[in-house]
Structure 1
Amino acid sequence: MIEVLYGAGPEKISGMSTEELRSTFLIEKIFPDDAVRLVYTHVDRMILGGCRPVKKSVEFGEGAAIGTPYLLSYREMGIANLGGPGRVDVDGQSFELNNRDVLYVGRSAQKLKLSSRDPENPARFYMNSVPSQVDYPHRLITRAESKLLELGAEKNSNKRTLRMYIHPEVAPSALLLMGITDLAQGSAWNTMPPHLHERRMEAYVYFDLSPEDRVIHLMGRPDETRHLIVADGDAVLSPAWSIHMGAGTGPYAFVWGMTGENQEYTDVDPVPVRTLR
């Protein structure tokens, strides 16, 4: 069973209640124990998923819900491990993922199995999948193999490290981009300055928050912003027309995934903070 979100245009959100905004753009608690949760969004047809295998391995891959023989018959997928050591089996081929490793799964994969090495420290698998018409081989990208960018400044409370995993400069894909951003100690703001990328949508999942902390995620048009209060393990959809930035009440990190017309990471339209409303 795959949940479906249809999204909304910028003209709709001015009249949305808090609950309407959350049900349209926020996916709460995406990491169920011993099960896979998949959410299909009509925002560029990305599928977001999560799984925390604790007591058993979890298998998935059937595609009837999207009208194909298998989930990845015509799709590619990135799987990030945000928890303890785990393993992903793809059609019998095994990949060991440590914390902050990412597995690229190419088109035509049929059966996937997720498991944890230690039930006391379970893996936490987060997935992004987008349509693909190109065959690339499965590939494990470790944290050490990712491309590191140092961004922001301590004086602006937005110092952070961004690691590219599924990206033309690291591991090729058809349309999927995926990476992980960590905030430096004492910094709160991510994605500063805010920007738009009309040719790509983006999805975030926030993690490594304490139970009492939250991220205030800003979205909407630059001249009419809205916000979402986001907890650990919650995912946010960011359509191409929306800004995306946020600040946390405590330490946090997030996985970003993108798809759209191109894979040019710098193809963005910056929005000066002073112009936000």
Structure 2
Amino acid sequence: MNMRVLYGAGPGDIDGYGTERLRAEFLIENLFVPGEIAFAYTHVDRMIVGGAVPRDAPISFGDGAEVGTPLFFTAREMGIANLGSNGAVTIDGKRFEVGNRDIVYVGRGAQEVVLESADSAQPAWFYMNSVPAGADIEHRLIRKDEAKPLELGDEKRANKRRLAMYIHPEVAPSCLLLMGITDLAPGSVWNTMPPHLHERRMEAYLYFDMASEDRVIHLMGRPDNTRHLIVANGDCVISPAWSIHMGSGTGPYAFVWGMTGENQAYNDVNPVPVETLR
């Protein structure tokens, strides 16, 4: 396991950031390396994001040295989304067979998690979000067809999309983690409209199902002081609570959203009129 650390920044800090510094603080690349597992720890609400692509052998983790506790899950919970081919997640001997776009919830207190692919030639892609937790909740598999869908947006405004809630009080409860997947309708390119803030929750965006030549232009920053990141397939953006988050793609894409904070109400947002953006 390797763990990158990001320290985050305040809204006033980004005035002095060039492209490379902005990317270093808010963009996580190279999460999905065949045969390896990678994590990034951000001090923005202490979320950890991770990626793993098991090939010929399973990949396991559970030691807490990198987070300062006896076990990784001594005081944490996690969602594990499979964005690739079929695989399995085993938690302390309990095995969950996971297909594409299934998500496994790992509760506080787990000792070991084992990730494996059903076919090394067509591996699973496991994407992970972990946040501090103060409650013991049972491990659970949430299949794609068990997620709660929300139809959002307008085809005429190129932002029609389907949001699926997986780890959410209405589907599978957690302590503080929310997690789901959003797909854009054919011909739509904008992933979040209207842009908004949620001061009580931070968010991580993992963009996937993109062609290698395509990019998402992800907008961030305060509404009156925006910046942008150019994002490729498999890249993750850390979005602090003070920042807007919206983006437009040059081709088809989807994204996994993960959130943490005191408020788990998905509609707990402050919309920002587009005409006020700068």
Tell me the TM-score range normalised by the shorter chain. Answer: over 0.9
Corresponding residue of 1:154: 155
SS in 1 for 2:259: strand
Corresponding residue of 2:110: 109
SS in 1 for 2:116: strand
The two structures have a TM-score, normalised by structure 1, of: 0.99
For structure 2, the residue ranges without an aligned partner over 5 or more in a row are: none
CA distance in 2, matches of 1:231, 1:244: 16
Identity %: 68
Per-residue deviation, 1:262? 1.3
Corresponding residue of 1:28: 29
CA distance in 1, matches of 2:64, 2:3: 10
Corresponding residue of 1:180: 181
Corresponding residue of 1:266: 267
Corresponding residue of 1:255: 256
Per-residue deviation, 1:34? 1.1
**Residue identity matched to 2:164:** R
Corresponding residue of 1:40: 41
CA distance in 2, matches of 1:172, 1:69: 25
CA distance in 1, matches of 2:249, 2:111: 38
Alignment pair present for 1:168 and 2:173: no
CA distance in 1, matches of 2:57, 2:187: 38
Per-residue deviation, 1:261? 1.4
CA distance in 2, matches of 1:62, 1:164: 29
CA distance in 2, matches of 1:166, 1:77: 10
Per-residue deviation, 1:55? 2.1
Post-superposition, which runs of at least 4 consecutive aligned residues in structure 1 deviate over 6 A? none
Corresponding residue of 1:216: 217
CA distance in 2, matches of 1:29, 1:2: 12
Corresponding residue of 1:77: 78
Corresponding residue of 2:52: 51
Per-residue deviation, 1:95? 0.4
Number of matched pairs? 277
Q: CA RMSD in A?
A: 0.6
CA distance in 1, matches of 2:55, 2:185: 30
The two structures have a TM-score, normalised by structure 2, of: 0.99
CA distance in 2, matches of 1:54, 1:64: 25
- 1:100-152 Cα distance to aligned partner (Å, 9 max, x none): 00000000001111000011211000000000110000000001000000011
More off after superposition, 47-56 vs 249-258: 47-56
SS in 2 for 1:103: strand
Corresponding residue of 1:245: 246
Alignment pair present for 1:87 and 2:85: no
More off after superposition, 161-170 vs 52-61: 52-61
Per-residue deviation, 1:15? 1.1
**Residue identity matched to 2:166:** Y
**Residue identity matched to 1:40:** Y
- 1:155-181 Cα distance to aligned partner (Å, 9 max, x none): 000110000000000000000000000
